[in-house]
Every structure is written in C-alpha cells, then in structure tokens.
Amino acid sequence: MPSLKALLLALFIIAVVVDQSFVEANFPKSMYINWGAHHSSFAGNGEDLQLVLDQTSGSAVKSKRSFLFGSIEMLIKLVPGNSAGTVTAYYVTSTGDKHDEIDFEFLGNVSGQPYIVHTNIYTQGNGSREQQFYLWFDPTADFHNYTIHWNPTEVVWYIDNLPIRVFRNYEKDGIAFPNKQGMRVHASLWNADNWATRGGLVKIDWNSSPFIARFCRFRARACKWDGPVSINQCATKSPANWWTSPSFSQLSSSQMGQLNWVRQNFMIYDYCKDTKRLNGQIPPECLKQQF
C-alpha cells in the first residue's frame, strides 16, 4: 500500500499539472471584451460568446492570461448568409513590433460561395506566411472545432481534429520560431471589405447586417506565461508539460494522411509557391521539411 506521504505528493503533482495546463472555459472568467462592448455578449452561464458587426462597430475579446505552448481550442459558428467583406478572426499574439502571432481568419463571401480559411504566422514581427483553404463543410450551419497547437518543435493548425498546416522549428538554421513570448488569445468580428473578399472587390452589404459570429467551449490547455522565466519552464520536457511529449513532435502517419487530403483537395494559396509575389526569393523555411 502506498504511504500517506506518497499519496499526498501524488495529489500535489496532479494539482500542479492541472493548474499549469488548463484554463477554465467560462468566457467571463477567462476573457474580457476589449472592443465593441455594446456588440458583444456572454450567454449560457458564460459558456457562449456572441460577436456582432454592424455599420457602427465590430467587436472583440481577448484572454486575461498569456500562454506559451499547449493547445488553444474554440468552437465557432461563422456568420451565415451574405458575409462578404467580413472577417471572423481567432488567433494568439504577443505585443510590440517584434510580436509573435498564429492566425485563423475566416473570410466571408457572398451567399452560396465557400468561406476561405486564411492562416498565417508571425515570428519576431515578420509575417507574410499565408496559406488559404476552402472548407469542406458549411461553417455557418453548426459549430466546428478550430485548434492552435504549438510546442517547442512545431505549430499545427487543426480543424475538427484534422491538421491543415504545420510550421516547424528551424531556429538552429536562423529561422525565427514563436518560443520566447507569451501570447494572449483573441477573437474578433470586423469590417475588412478593403481586402477580404476577392481582394476587396466585393463590399459589405449592410442590408444584411447585423452580422453575428458565435463561439463556445473555449479551452486553453496551455502553459501559463509568467514572464521570461516561462521560456524554459514551458519548454522543459516533463509529464506536466504534456505538449513536449515525443508524440507531439511530429504528425503521425494517419495525421499525415489527413493533412495531405486537406491540402490536395482544399488548399487554394501557399506563400511558398508564390514566386511572383516573392520576386523569386523562396523563404528559407519553405526549403525545409515542413511536416
């Protein structure tokens, strides 16, 4: 039989792990409205969030805490009908000119046309790493899971547990990676008709407003950022830091099959292949093994 001391130690370790890697899903406890307060509302005992856009304003929320490594997930139901010119954004970012950022942006379109999922990653203030996909389902009919997972080895974007994109850590080769700055979680709904739909050719039809995006089940199973000390603490390989497990260092063979299915059938833009835009200068990470 284990001793009382051993049991107490085990309970303490479990408590530390839970405290370190999970943030309560209740929206008012974990996030606050930082733009368009009269256009945002919490419901369902704090489990649900509604963002609204009309001609007067959009709206946004962000997390009270910053994180470094782990999984950030949200269930989202996008703006239905004619959503051209609107953008629903869901991302993590630090602050400042040298900020890190990992993006999901959903570009609205005219009724009957598919949504475009716009993904990007900034490291040390440098972005322009866009990849875009059509969705293989109607994202306005029901909630779907969108997850950002990142650890010291890679960043992976998931939709309903299917990986759609990977950005690996090649810092040893001089390619910056988001591993030294805490990032807060953001969600917003805003007017982007100067670029979002067909490069800005299709403008918002305000007769269709108000536009509403719905969010629920926010989960942050992630390492809480407590300043520079977290750079090493969150990257240390330990049972508490589950994201450092070897199983999360690279996609499995089945995940690779899922990734290839999405990219072969639904990918519509890849910055690595846009040689005209890049003046023939291929970004160094594009020449590395990406998956």
Annotated active-site positions, please? 101, 105
Structure token pair of residue 99: 């900020």
DSSP state for residue 25 in the 8-state scheme: -
- The CA distances from residue 205 to 83, 85, 193, 202, 211, in Å, are 8, 8, 10, 9, 10
Show the DSSP H helices in the chain as ranges: 4-21, 27-30, 229-233, 253-266
DSSP state for residue 272 in the 8-state scheme: G
CA distance 283 to 262: 23
- The CA distances from residue 65 to 59, 185, 209, 220, in Å, are 19, 8, 32, 10
β-pairing, 31-35 vs 59-77, is antiparallel
Amino acid at 241: N
Q: Residue 55 burial by CB count (10 A; 0-12/13-18/19+): exposed, middle or buried? A: exposed
